[in-house]
Amino acid sequence: MPAAALAALLVAPRTARAQRRGEVAPGQDSGSARGAKNTGVARQFPSGADCERCHGSREFLLSAASDRNVGAGLVVTRATLSGGPHAHVACSDCHTGVTFFPHEPEAARRVVCGRCHAAQDSAWRRGVHGPHGPSAAPRADCVACHGGHEVARAGFLPTAAGRAEMRRACGKCHAAQVATSQRDVHADTIACTRCHGSHAMRPVPDEATHRIDVGLARACSQCHPAEAASYWRDVHGTTAARQAASAAVLGADTAATCISCHGEHGIRRADDPTWRFAVAGACTRCHAAYGRTYRDSYHGQASGVGSTRAAKCADCHTPHNVRPASDPASSVSPGNELTTCRGCHSAARGKFAGYQPHANPRDRRRYPVLFAVWLFMNAVLSGTMLVWGAHTLLWYRRTLLDRRARGAEAARHAPAGPTPMDSALRGGGPFVWRFNLLFRVVHALIVATFFVLVVTGLPLRFSCAAWAPGLMRLLGGATRAGVAHRTAGMFVFGYFALYAAYVSWRGWRRRGRVRDWFTGPDSIVFRPQDLRDALAMVRWFLGRGPQPRFGRYSYMEKFDYFAELWGVGAIGFTGLMLWQPEFFGRFFPGILFNVAIIVHSYEAMIATAFIFTIHFFNVHLRPDKWPVDAVMFTGRATLHYMEEEHPLVGERLRERIGAAAPSAAAVVDEPAPPPAKWMNVAGAAGGLVLLGIGLVLIGLILWGSLC
């Protein structure tokens, strides 16, 4: 419709009415009369009926609009406003810019709510949504939150429908925050304004309080008075209040408020296990040094791989009554430590609370005893791997040189047929028994328990590694892995007791020959000859002498033997201490638990690194052993094998080997029948599987050592 026709439609009826009332002279329209009123003559503003004449019909507005863009909010009737707080408010009271017809669109958009809502308008102008910046343009005006004509009454907002409407309004600008809040503990129960306020909203963080969100903390206090009563008296609350009011110096970190730990949106329930992990992480952001020592402790390592039972920060320091240890009211003060520990360790007593959960063994000044233990265990680990690593590399080099030197001759004298995978069965018969059944059973138990202990212990030791939580989940979780770990430990004590009983029984039967166990040529105990053999071995490595001739046990096998005995004692006893801290806390000072953690961890690392590198080299990776030496599985070896590996024993056996027939009874040094084919295959296959698992675990250890 042309603008002139629209003007006539709007003006003609009103002019006729005005003329009948004598407000305008005949021949003068109401528009010109209003023009006169603008110069000082009394004015008459449009009534609701006048506004509804145009805004009551969408079809009319569409025909009149030049761009045919008519929003739903422009169609307004008396029914639109009925029942609302503005039902009896004239249109011109809000749209003060409209003074004539047809009016300009921009004139109707200027809505001044402050004429009736002065207090709210004043608060809004001071808040984050009010006019700011050079242009003084508001970030969000009244209409953006309250809507246009269908404004709800104040009592509507606390209802479920009101909260939903508010979320839709806030979500126009804060979509991510609203979406996150829909998944938190306050979803559908708390309106945005309950925390952020209604009109005087402050930014988060707020520069007016030095970016310390005490305003939100006070809002939280309204619904959580019990927690607030503790918080505002603890070290976080008192410091936050003083820093926000400029009464305390601001350091590198500001005091924690509610959202520092619970977050702003997406708040989870306090009994949600995942939230407890998140809170522990929040604590470490401000308390980095304590965070590092916590992650190195058992509590932190177990939590790092998903344990819901291990203590988190709030379990010891309380959630809302955090105080320094020097405060007698603190949960970690000397007078309250034992009570706090009993929250998880109900039977704790005596010196149990002497355990230092945040001890740093690298801090020589504060923890000299722990530093000495840590330094010693590091020296043992480094020394063991350096010495035996060099020994292994030199041996590998010398073996390759010898194989190349005698390669052609060895090929001419090689026996016909396939070469057994088990290096102990190469060279053909005759066969002799190397180990009896008990030794093989004990060795099988050692292998099985060792792998269980390593696999279940590594995720805890390297909980900082990316692979640790996944491996722990694969094992069924930290609790089940812990049960498997301790069960394997009990089997270790079991086979050790079995072996000790066997040795005692043999000693009783051969009382006259017990001395030979310590000084005889077949002794497992270190003798001066072992030192001479070790030096001769080094000369052979360097090409300066022949290879030494070993008896029943070489110095390397003796080292393995006593390392196993030491490991069972050191790892086993410290493991018992950590498994039953309440019991041992009755007798030992708490600091010994810190010592036990260091010894248990480092001794386990020494054993794991040695077995998967040095020992695997001796039974798998040596060129003359590849792919496996399964003598401990079959219990038997060829005479050729004995003459190469243990020539002093091999010579004695050759003199007597033909005097007796092979026996199925596993009597050491007696002739033995060849092993069944399945034993050869099973021994080789099992050895290769263990080798593969061991190499993967070594890779995980190296990866974990980087974090």
Percent of the chain exceeding pLDDT 90 equals 52
Same domain as 163, residue 15: no
Domain stop point among 83, 115, 147: 115
In terms of Cα–Cα distance, which of 458, 472, 470, 475 is closest to 702? 458
- Tally the C-alpha atoms within 13 A of residue 477's C-alpha that lie toward its C-beta: 7
Question: Distance between CA atoms of 305 and 477, rounded to whole angstroms?
Answer: 8
In this prediction, residues 659-682 reach a mean pLDDT of 87
Q: Which amino acid is at 646?
A: H
CATH number of residue 656's parent domain: 1.20.950.20
Residues 93 and 172 placed together within one structural domain of the fold: no
β-pairing, 131-132 vs 636-638, is unpaired
| Geometric angle at alpha carbon 472, from 360 and 377, rounded to 5° | 35
**461 shares a domain with 478:** yes
Query: How many Cβ atoms from other residues are within 10 Å of residue 326's Cβ?
Result: 9
Query: Which residue has better confidence, 419 or 112?
Result: 112
Domain-embedded: residue 528: yes
The four Cα atoms 138, 144, 150, 155 give a dihedral, to 10 degrees, of -90
User: 243 in a domain, yes or no?
Assistant: no
409 vs 405, 429, 611, 640, CA distance in Å?
Answer: 9, 21, 34, 17
Q: Is the pLDDT of residue 7 over 50?
A: no
Give the pLDDT confidence of 419-470 residue by residue, as tens digits.
Answer: 677 888 888 779 999 999 999 999 999 999 999 999 999 999 999 999 999 9
Contacts for 51 with CB less than 8 Å, ≥ 6 apart: 76, 91
Q: Give SS3 for 132.
A: strand
Tell me: do 660 and 558 sit in the same domain.
yes
State the pLDDT at residue 410: 57
Q: Hey, which of 118-122, 246-250, 489-493 has the most confident mean pLDDT?
A: 489-493
Q: Per-residue pLDDT for 661 more than 90? A: no
Q: What is the largest CA-CA distance in the chain?
A: 150
Q: Which domain holds residue 351?
A: 268-371
Specify whether the CB–CB gap between 101 and 33 falls below 8 A: no
What pTM value is reported for the model?
0.79
Per-residue model confidence (pLDDT) at position 187: 84
Please name every residue paired with 433 in a beta bridge, in sequence order, or none if there are none. Answer: 636
| pLDDT, average across residues 196-220 | 90
Same domain, 345 and 482: no
Does 34 map to a domain? Answer: yes
Would you say 83 and 93 are in contact if contact means Cβ atoms under 8 Å apart?
no
**Residue 72 burial by Cβ neighbours in a 10 Å radius (0-12, 13-18, 19+):** exposed
Find out whether 110 and 95 touch, Cβ atoms under 8 Å: yes
- pLDDT tens across 163-200, in order? 888 889 999 999 999 998 888 888 888 888 889 988 98
Q: Residue for token digits 């390297």?
A: 462
- Mean pLDDT, the chain, integer: 86
The pLDDT tens digits for 571-609 are: 999 999 999 999 999 999 999 999 999 999 999 999 999
Assess whether 562 and 654 both reside in one domain.
yes
CA-angle at 292, arms to 287 and 298, nearest 5°: 120
Instruction: Decide: 431 and 672 in contact? Cβ < 8 Å.
Output: yes
Distance CA 254, CA 236 (A): 9
Q: Which of residues 84, 115, 146 is at a domain's end?
A: 115
Say how far apart CA 125 and CA 273 lie, in whole Å: 42
On the question of a cis peptide bond just before residue 46, with omega within 30 degrees of 0, the verdict is no
Q: Is residue 393 part of a domain?
A: no
| 253 inside domain | no
Token pair, residue 25, equals: 């002279």
Q: Residue 611: which pLDDT band, with cuts at 50, 70 and 90?
A: very high
What is the reported pLDDT for 189? 86
Contacts of 390 (CB under 8 A, 6+ apart): none
> Among 66, 87, 115, where does a domain finish?
115
pLDDT of residue 372: 97
**Together in a domain, 485 and 531:** yes
Enter the DSSP assignment of 131: E
Domain total of the chain: 4
- Which pLDDT tens digit goes with each residue over 483-492? 999 999 999 9
The helix/strand count (H/E) of the chain reads as: 36, 5
Domain membership flag for residue 91: yes
- With CA atoms as reference, report the closest residue to 639 among 431, 401, 405, 489: 431
pLDDT confidence of residue 462: 96
Q: Which amino acid is at 270?
A: A
- Whether 221 is in a domain gets the answer no
Higher pLDDT, 684 or 576: 576
- HEC letters along 250-280: CCCCCCCCHHHHHCCCCCCCCCCHHHHHHHH
Q: What is the mean pLDDT of residues 496-511?
A: 89
Q: Are residues 141 and 98 in the same domain?
A: no
- Asked if residue 288 and residue 160 are part of one domain, the reply reads no
Task: Give mean pLDDT, residues 7-22.
Answer: 42
User: Rounded to whole angstroms, how far apart are CA atoms 487 and 481?
Assistant: 10
CA dihedral 493, 495, 496, 502 (to 10 degrees): 140
Q: How far apart are the C-alpha atoms of 337 and 348, rounded to whole Å? A: 11
For the chain, the residue count is 707
- Outline where 364-513 has alpha helix (H): 368-405, 407-413, 437-461, 468-474, 478-509
What is the spatial distance between Cα 317 and Cα 636, in angstroms, rounded to a whole number? 61
Residue 238 belongs to a domain: no
Question: Which amino acid, residue 22?
Answer: G
Do 169 and 280 fall into the same domain? no
Helix/strand/coil for 433 = strand
The DSSP H or E segment spanning 671 is strand 671-672
Q: Who contacts 348 (Cβ-Cβ below 8 Å, separation ≥6)? A: 338, 341, 342, 581, 582, 585
Residues 555 and 696 in one domain: yes
Question: 181 and 44 in one domain?
Answer: no
Spatial contact of 589 and 354, defined as CB atoms under 8 Å apart: yes
Looking at per-residue confidence, does 330 or 512 come out higher? Answer: 330
Candidate from 14-23, 62-71, 228-237, 344-353 with smallest mean pLDDT: 14-23
